[in-house]
Amino acid sequence: MMVKPKKASALAGIFEEESAPVSPTVVAESMPKEATTRSRLDGNAPSPRKKNSHPGKKPVLIHIPEDMHRTLRQLSVEEGGEPLTVITGAFIAPISGAARAHQVCTMSKRRDPNPEFDFFIPLMNDLPLKDQREVMERPFFSLQKRKRLKPIEYRSPNGEAWVKVEAMPAYGMATIWDADILVWAASVLNRMKEQGINDLPRTLTTTTYDLLRGIRRGTGGRAYQELQAALSRLETTSIRTSLRAPKRRNEAQFGWLDGWTLEVDPDTDQPRGMTITLSNWVYEGIVSERSLLTMHQDYFLLSGGLERALYRIARKHAGQQRGGWICRVEVLHEKTGSDAQPKEFNRMLRKIIEADQLPDYTMSLSQTVEGTPAVMFQLRGVEAATELHRKLEKERERLEADRRRAEEVDGLMDRLSRGRPR
């Protein structure tokens, strides 16, 4: 009987022979007995030692960044290779051989609060971005980063659809940047639906780190504080609308989130796992058939609130029309929900047209048949879209560098204020 040879790992040949001062034998022997047993548990019974899938190759002890840890581990197991033992960026300080081996074992026991959902997280950047059609074309969010308390009131030109958004004074209105969390949730649920999962959860479990990376944000201390503030605004902002109102009623009232939780490490006081519970109105809008539109991956790179609103409106109305789509400036002002005066709105609009940074679409000033000022949205060509992507990536890197420098300065000032200079 022929035995089918075992498939080699996709990671085979990537790493050279071990050159670290701690040998594999020392690592195994210096592990505490209890920890070694737990690292090989499957249920409650220890599994037999796995044969090396690469004869002649020694196990290696490698250092990789924290954000690559989970992806590489998943890839190694899926391809039939040895599970990776890693030291992440948290353990780069010089330590003894025995202590190093113990810390490696500690990392191998890391437990995710929802491992089934965790399967979707490493590929988050590869997910098509999705958002609700009904939300994209109407003013549901504040376009400014400063606290907005003035309500948004909108009624469609035909008078059939209306929206009223109100903020809680303690938190302010949910912003169009806060809405990235809802885009993330819609994208994840859509992927689960495509994979045939019928019982889609209304409460999503992830980590703060994975969520921030998924929406293209930094992962410094300030980013975690901003995330908590965004979740609070999404929970406390009150929306009333005629869209998808219950039967025998002409309005629906809801918040974006019904609740959220954040798990904090008791030793380091750092955020770890978290849950987000979508409101029923949001959840039903996401899981309904043909309710979502795909957005360009560079949407998260748009830094201006009005830019984001204009892209969402164009994506809903212009779509893939080669002939383009024209909209009166007055209607655009109402659809974005901007609280700027008409003269100021026109100035900002001209500035955005000159910058020409919207993914998928170019904008140009135009006129309607009646001679009313309007804006024309047209699809970009392939070369223009590629060039814009490079431009936005460069701008994102610049903003990220500025953010890191600001956090370093804030950290230094905090230490100086406590009397402990670096």
Residue-wise pLDDT for 245-303, tens only, equals 876 678 899 999 999 999 888 887 777 799 999 999 999 999 987 889 999 989 999 99
Does the structure show a pLDDT above 90 at 419?
no
Give the HSE-up count for residue 357: Cα atoms under 13 Å, Cβ half-sphere.
24
User: Tokens 């944000």 identify what position?
Assistant: 217
Measured CA to CA, the distance from residue 304 to residue 395 in angstroms comes to 12
Query: Which ranges of 205-358 would DSSP assign to H, the alpha helix?
Result: 208-214, 221-236, 280-287, 305-317, 329-336, 342-355
411 pLDDT band, cuts 50/70/90, is confident
When the pLDDT of each residue in the chain is averaged and rounded to a whole number, the result is 75
Secondary structure (3-state) at 246? coil
Q: Please tell me the predicted confidence (pLDDT) of residue 60.
A: 45
CA distances from 31 to 37, 107, 242, 284, 349 (A): 10, 12, 62, 50, 63
Does the structure show a pLDDT above 90 at 109?
no
Does the structure show a pLDDT above 70 at 13?
no
Q: Please tell me the predicted confidence (pLDDT) of residue 95.
A: 37
- Helix, strand, coil percentages for the chain (3-state, nearest 5): 40, 15, 40
The one-letter code for the residue type at 85 is T
Q: Please tell me the predicted confidence (pLDDT) of residue 16.
A: 41
Domain ranges within the chain, ordered by starting residue:
24-110, 112-301, 304-380, 392-422
User: Tokens 């074309």 identify what position?
Assistant: 137
pTM of this structure:
0.64
Residue 123's nearest CA partner among 75, 178, 86, 176 is: 75
Percent of residues, the chain, with pLDDT higher than 70: 68
Residue 59's nearest CA partner among 99, 8, 12, 95 is: 12
Q: Highest-confidence range of 120-124, 287-291, 374-378, 387-391, by mean pLDDT?
A: 374-378
User: Tokens 């009333």 identify what position?
Assistant: 240
pLDDT digits over 175-220, tens only?
999 999 999 999 999 999 999 998 999 999 999 999 999 998 988 8
Least confident among 57-61, 64-68, 127-131, 185-189: 57-61
Residue 154's nearest CA partner among 170, 172, 135, 171 is: 135
420 pLDDT band, cuts 50/70/90, is low
Q: Please tell me the predicted confidence (pLDDT) of residue 314.
A: 94
Instruction: Assign a CATH topology to domain 304-380.
Output: Arc Repressor Mutant, subunit A (1.10.10)
Look at 411 and 64; give whichever has higher pLDDT. 411
pLDDT digits over 306-362, tens only?
999 999 999 999 988 878 899 999 999 999 999 999 999 999 999 999 999 999 899
Percent of residues, the chain, with pLDDT higher than 90: 45
Q: Please tell me the predicted confidence (pLDDT) of residue 369.
A: 87
Secondary structure (3-state) at 294? strand
Does the structure show a pLDDT above 80 at 372?
yes
Q: Please tell me the predicted confidence (pLDDT) of residue 404.
A: 78
Q: Please tell me the predicted confidence (pLDDT) of residue 120.
A: 39
The one-letter code for the residue type at 265 is D
Q: Please tell me the predicted confidence (pLDDT) of residue 384.
A: 67
15 pLDDT band, cuts 50/70/90, is very low
Q: ∠66-71-73 over CA atoms, to 5°?
A: 90
158 pLDDT band, cuts 50/70/90, is confident
Q: Dihedral angle at the C-alpha atoms of 125, 127, 132, 137, nearest 10 degrees?
A: 60
**Are the C-beta atoms of residues 86 and 110 closer than 8 Å to each other?**
no
Residue 273's nearest CA partner among 259, 262, 284 is: 262
Measured CA to CA, the distance from residue 302 to residue 204 in angstroms comes to 26
Look at 238 and 403; give whichever has higher pLDDT. 238
Q: Please tell me the predicted confidence (pLDDT) of residue 385.
A: 63
Does the structure show a pLDDT above 60 at 67?
no
